[in-house]
Chain A
Amino acid sequence: MKRSWLTSGLASVALIAAAGASWAEKANDTLRVAFTKELENVDSYFNSSREGVVLQRAVWDGLIYRDPVTNEYKGNLATSWEWIDDTTLELKLREGVTFHNGEPFNADDVVFTVNFVAKEESGVKTQRNVNWMKSAEKVDDYTVRILLKEKFPAAIEFLSGPVSMYPNEYYAEAGPSKMGLEPVGTGPYKVVSVTPGQHFVLEKNENYHDSPKGQPTITNIDIRTIPDVNTQMAELFSGSLDLIWQVPADQAEKLDEMGQFTVENESTMRVGYLSMDAAGRSGDTPFSDLKVRQAVNHAINRKELVDALLKGESQVVWTPCFPSQFGCIEEAATTYEYDPEKAKALLAEAGYPDGFTTEFYAYRNREYAEAIMSYLNAVGIEADFKFLQYSALRDLNMKGEVPLAFLTWGSYSINDASAMVSQFFKHGSLDDARDDQVLADLNVADSSTDPEVRIENYAKAIDRITSQAYWAPMFSYNTNYVFTKEVSYSPTPDEVLRFTTMTWN
């Protein structure tokens, strides 16, 4: 909505208005960054937004760390870990680490954090991030065991992602509300001040341990929430911001042409797809016919969508997961070349020679949804388009009232196929396929601790899902990062801003 206020954009105006001076706050060693969305709570267990992940990685540490480039797991607050049995993970902790408030880090903090977040009553917002853990117990001051409810091979991935360690004494007293206002962690940046949703000031942690995240170099990070992307660009032009991200493709192109700023594009884990009601939950729908679903898959020119609309590092995606995720086997997926004639023929075979009319839902990227609609139109599928708020669409989806929808999934930056394919095809409330064979494969893949077995079974599930055309996976998203020439930064595919890897030129 905000973006559509001015699609022509400030960039064109600013081009005419001539390139104003741009100067970073390099002299003050302060990097000024904009967030688009109001972050609900800095306490990372009580928010579910991208901005929250950015602060989480800056302020706190996990036990394990995944290198965002090589995807290799390294020790962070833990130095080593080993599976005692299928549901018990023993970790040796790093010694000599202190929290920002001076509290020393040890096994008590891990036990407290895990026991607190694993309890459903604690109300952690994204339950899936934590509800695989049952509890934790202390072996000695620097050894802990995390007990799982059941086998969960993605445990290491989660421990290197959303599960960060909190100081037990402080958190017991402060709780999520105060932790959100005066956060305390072990991370590379300390929080100086928080104005809820609006303004966040961070300062380099001089005593940061020898973490694989690397040592921070920029002293101060000043983050303001500026909802309108055009205003963000104006701030950048006037020299009062140094870095903006999530810049729409058309604006980023113009900014790049001006040559005044560095524009970097990087893919994200978000995948856009069409979901079809194969199980017929919404009543008598053409999508319960395989041929119709195949026709939809053939009707869409994914390459054109990527080249003309998404641009950047976006890729055509054929899998019901993001290809970098563990277990997301691209070779297993059936691909459907763009062939409107074939789509029409399939529709005719299915008994719809003149096509049909269906409700078509979407909640974001209206322009993408409209492009998809025109492809469907071209083969005779008339769409009755409904653009809803996310929560409203989600509601309908869970009730099984959505025959066709353009949806997206970002996997919470979890680099494991279970974070996407298993969320939608295990007969949950969002599953419009309800395929028993897929369920069986995914159950094995999700719970096996043998990587080979996992890969084999994810491949089987992906093969089945794509050959049955339950979805039409389409493309991955990308993000544009725009920053002044004084800053150097290489974005990573998980769409997390990492202040530790930013430096002044």
Chain B
Amino acid sequence: MLTFILKRLGLAVLVALTVSFISFVLLFLAGDPAAALAGETASGEDIEAIRRLYGFDRPMLVQYVDWLYSAVRGDFGESYYFRLPVASLIAERLSVTMTLGVCGITFALLTAVPLGVAAAIRPNSIIDRVALFLSVAGQAMPSFWFGLILIVVFAIQLGWLPPSGASSPAHFIMPTIVLGYYAMPAIMRLTRAGMLEVLSSDYIRTARAKGAPEGRVLFRHALRNAIIPVVSLAAVQMGFMLGGSIVVESIFALHGAGYLAWESIARNDLPTVQALILVFSMFYIVFTFLADVLNAWLDPRMRSS
């Protein structure tokens, strides 16, 4: 198990390095950071001054190594745009994104798994149809549209919830639903398919023949096996939510890490983008790792491999 973890960690470092290097190169190709930094009203001389000031006139590789050297020591530099330390900026924005991501995936799992199980127990029943309808709607509805509809109904018409912002738990209800609903269909379909397959297998028939109670058969025997691919999917979805809820963050004015990344790319704020890419890739690495561990716990056969 220790060598397994060490291998994974080594891989993680390599992935992070590769990702950071590629993103560094791409950002430079995307546009002149000095021009972006100088802003729309700057003249050619302004831009040249900024280029010298920030050292953009040095070779790209030198700038990358320079960044890497500081990053390894935990210094991500200062945001070109905000003139604040990147580390504190990201920490502040991440708290919003993490709250949203955890709430979103919880909402998705709490709705998707029971619905998927229910749909699998009675295929083609009303419940199955409703679940199918919900998942198709969730897949088809763009989140910006769903978000605005929720705002119109719950914030404007009923006045129950605040339309946007992050200053109270109530502010997170609508974003959670929108973000969670986006992840729900895939999880639900996977749960349903897995349950259907497992429920028709021999050991379930055996368990039922032994006279095991139905609840025990469903949750102890069937779900435990059916949920394994769901765990992997949820891990990926979680990584996605922490890195990519740009639309939801923007609609609900949440100022999270996803929105920060999106805006920082447009502003060519290299230190911020670089640090965020590193953080996001670490999220994916950590969550897939955790999913593997969780799967190993769920399925003893995986522990040996």
Q: Do A and B come from one complex?
A: yes
Nearest CB of chain B from residue A365's CB, rounded to whole Å: 13
Cross-interface CB contact of B253 among A123, A177, A231, cutoff 8 Å:
A231
Chain B's interface size range is 35 or more
Q: A20-B159, A234-B151 are in contact. List 10 more A-B contacts (CB 8 A).
A: A13-B149, A17-B157, A18-B157, A126-B38, A128-B43, A240-B162, A391-B33, A410-B41, A428-B43, A429-B44
* CB of B194 closer than 8 Å to a CB of A: no
Nearest CB of chain A from residue B82's CB, rounded to whole Å: 5
Cross-interface CB contact of A228 among B41, B46, B251, cutoff 8 Å:
B251
Are A428 and B44 in contact, with the CB atoms below 8 A? yes
Are B32 and A176 in contact, with the CB atoms below 8 A? no
Q: List the B side residues contacting A412 at CB < 8 Å.
A: 41
Are A196 and B82 in contact, with the CB atoms below 8 A? yes
Interface string of B28-44 (1 = CB under 8 A from A): 00111101111111111
Cross-interface CB contact of A392 among B30, B40, B83, B263, cutoff 8 Å:
B30
Known: A228-B250, A238-B155. A40 touches B44 (CB 8 A): no
* CB of B81 closer than 8 Å to a CB of A: yes
Interface string of A205-243 (1 = CB under 8 A from B): 000000000000000000011111011001101101000
> 5 pairs across A/B with beta carbons < 8 Å?
A40-B81, A121-B53, A231-B251, A231-B253, A391-B31
Closest to A48 in B: B39
**How far is A120 from B48 in the complex, measured between Cα atoms in Å?**
11
* CB of A49 closer than 8 Å to a CB of B: yes
Are A197 and B255 in contact, with the CB atoms below 8 A? yes
**How far is A389 from B268 in the complex, measured between Cα atoms in Å?**
10
Q: List the B side residues contacting A394 at CB < 8 Å.
A: 31-32, 35-36, 47
* CB of A155 closer than 8 Å to a CB of B: no
**How far is A395 from B48 in the complex, measured between Cα atoms in Å?**
12
Are A128 and B82 in contact, with the CB atoms below 8 A? no
**How far is A2 from B32 in the complex, measured between Cα atoms in Å?**
23
Are A48 and B155 in contact, with the CB atoms below 8 A? no
Are B83 and A390 in contact, with the CB atoms below 8 A? no
Are A125 and B39 in contact, with the CB atoms below 8 A? yes
Q: List the B side residues contacting A225 at CB < 8 Å.
A: 253, 255
Nearest CB of chain B from residue A144's CB, rounded to whole Å: 26
**How far is A410 from B268 in the complex, measured between Cα atoms in Å?**
21
* CB of B247 closer than 8 Å to a CB of A: yes
* CB of A38 closer than 8 Å to a CB of B: yes
Closest to B45 in A: A127
* CB of A172 closer than 8 Å to a CB of B: no
Q: List the A side residues contacting B42 at CB < 8 Å.
A: 48, 125-128
Known: A46-B83, A48-B41, A231-B164. A390 touches B36 (CB 8 A): yes
**How far is A228 from B247 in the complex, measured between Cα atoms in Å?**
9
Restricting to B44-82, which residues have a CB under 8 Å from any CB of A?
44-47, 49-50, 53, 81-82
Known: A48-B39, A391-B33, A428-B43. A231 touches B252 (CB 8 A): yes
Cross-interface CB contact of A389 among B151, B250, B266, cutoff 8 Å:
B266
Nearest CB of chain B from residue A286's CB, rounded to whole Å: 26
Cross-interface CB contact of A231 among B83, B149, B151, cutoff 8 Å:
B151
Are A410 and B259 in contact, with the CB atoms below 8 A? no
Nearest CB of chain A from residue B289's CB, rounded to whole Å: 33
Q: List the A side residues contacting B90 at CB < 8 Å.
A: none
* CB of A455 closer than 8 Å to a CB of B: no
Q: List the B side residues contacting A126 at CB < 8 Å.
A: 38-39, 41-42, 46
Closest to A6 in B: B144
* CB of A398 closer than 8 Å to a CB of B: yes
**How far is A395 from B44 in the complex, measured between Cα atoms in Å?**
10
**How far is A319 from B163 in the complex, measured between Cα atoms in Å?**
44
Q: List the B side residues contacting A6 at CB < 8 Å.
A: 144-145, 148
SS of B interface (majority): helix
Cross-interface CB contact of A10 among B148, B159, B259, cutoff 8 Å:
B148
Nearest CB of chain A from residue B54's CB, rounded to whole Å: 9
Are A391 and B43 in contact, with the CB atoms below 8 A? no
* CB of A312 closer than 8 Å to a CB of B: no
Q: 5 nearest interchain CB pairs?
A: A48-B39, A391-B36, A392-B31, A391-B31, A429-B44
Known: A41-B82, A127-B45, A224-B165. A2 touches B36 (CB 8 A): no
Q: Which residues of A contact B (CB under 8 A)?
A: 2, 5-6, 10, 13-14, 17-18, 20-21, 38, 40-41, 46-49, 120-121, 123, 125-128, 131, 176-177, 180, 196-198, 224-228, 230-231, 234-235, 237-238, 240, 388-392, 394-395, 398, 410-412, 423, 428-430
Closest to A412 in B: B41
Known: A48-B40, A128-B46, A226-B164. A2 touches B263 (CB 8 A): no
Closest to B81 in A: A40
**How far is A226 from B254 in the complex, measured between Cα atoms in Å?**
8
Are B162 and A227 in contact, with the CB atoms below 8 A? no
* CB of B302 closer than 8 Å to a CB of A: no
**How far is A430 from B46 in the complex, measured between Cα atoms in Å?**
12
Nearest CB of chain A from residue B176's CB, rounded to whole Å: 16
Q: List the B side residues contacting A230 at CB < 8 Å.
A: 148, 251
Q: List the A side residues contacting B170 at CB < 8 Å.
A: none
Known: A6-B145, A127-B46. A234 touches B156 (CB 8 A): yes
Task: Determine which residue in B47, B81, B148, B149 has the highest number of CB atoms from chain A within 10 A of its CB, and name it.
Answer: B148
**How far is A225 from B266 in the complex, measured between Cα atoms in Å?**
17
Q: List the B side residues contacting A388 at CB < 8 Å.
A: 31
Q: List the B side residues contacting A240 at CB < 8 Å.
A: 162-163
Nearest CB of chain B from residue A10's CB, rounded to whole Å: 6
Known: A48-B40, A128-B46, A398-B35. A228 touches B253 (CB 8 A): yes
**How far is A59 from B156 in the complex, measured between Cα atoms in Å?**
33
Q: List the A side residues contacting B32 at CB < 8 Å.
A: 391-392, 394-395, 398
Are B35 and A231 in contact, with the CB atoms below 8 A? no
Known: A10-B148, A391-B32, A398-B35. A410 touches B251 (CB 8 A): no
* CB of B84 closer than 8 Å to a CB of A: yes
Nearest CB of chain B from residue A226's CB, rounded to whole Å: 4
Are B152 and A10 in contact, with the CB atoms below 8 A? yes
**How far is A237 from B250 in the complex, measured between Cα atoms in Å?**
18
Closest to A411 in B: B41
Task: Determine which residue in A121, A131, A388, A390 has the highest number of CB atoms from chain B within 10 A of its CB, and name it.
Answer: A390
Q: List the A side residues contacting B152 at CB < 8 Å.
A: 10, 13-14, 17, 234
**How far is A237 from B156 in the complex, measured between Cα atoms in Å?**
6
Are A238 and B156 in contact, with the CB atoms below 8 A? yes
Q: List the A side residues contacting B132 at CB < 8 Å.
A: none
**How far is A225 from B93 in the complex, measured between Cα atoms in Å?**
14
Nearest CB of chain B from residue A120's CB, rounded to whole Å: 6
Nearest CB of chain B from residue A35's CB, rounded to whole Å: 10
Cross-interface CB contact of B30 among A18, A197, A389, cutoff 8 Å:
A389
Q: List the B side residues contacting A390 at CB < 8 Å.
A: 35-36, 40
**How far is A106 from B6 in the complex, measured between Cα atoms in Å?**
65
Q: List the A side residues contacting B151 at CB < 8 Å.
A: 10, 231, 234
**How far is A38 from B79 in the complex, measured between Cα atoms in Å?**
13
